[in-house]
Amino acid sequence: MGTLAIGAGLAMAGAALGIGIGQGFAVGKGLEGMSRQPELSGKIQTSMIVGMAIMETIGVLAFVISIMLTGKIG
């Protein structure tokens, strides 16, 4: 049973690591573009947020998996 709990934690940890790095890149590049062209900031911000949400899907899928795993512990 203990391995299930470790697996659930590891699923979240791996996903969060990747997403953190990916979203950091996205925001950094987005801010770079915004500071270079402030008149386009609205458009850049929209596509940045949508892109970040698509990245976040992986984390959410990992979250769903770890919830399924925690449900099996009891």
| 53 belongs to the binding site for other proteins (CB under 8 A) | yes
Site string for other proteins, 32-51 (x = CB under 8 A): --------------x--xx-
| 73 belongs to the binding site for other proteins (CB under 8 A) | no
Query: CA-to-CA distance for 32 and 45, rounded, in angstroms?
Result: 11
DSSP collapsed to 3 states, the chain: CHHHHHHHHHHHHHHHHHHHHHHHHHHHHHHHHHHHCHHHHHHHHHHHHHHHHHHHHHHHHHHHHHHHHHHHHC
What is the smallest separation between the CB atom of 14 and other proteins, expressed in angstroms? 16
Applying CB under 8 A, what is the total number of residues that bind other proteins? 14
What is the smallest separation between the CB atom of 55 and other proteins, expressed in angstroms? 11
In the complex, the residues that contact other proteins under the rule CB under 8 A are 46, 49-50, 53-54, 56-57, 59-61, 63-64, 67, 71
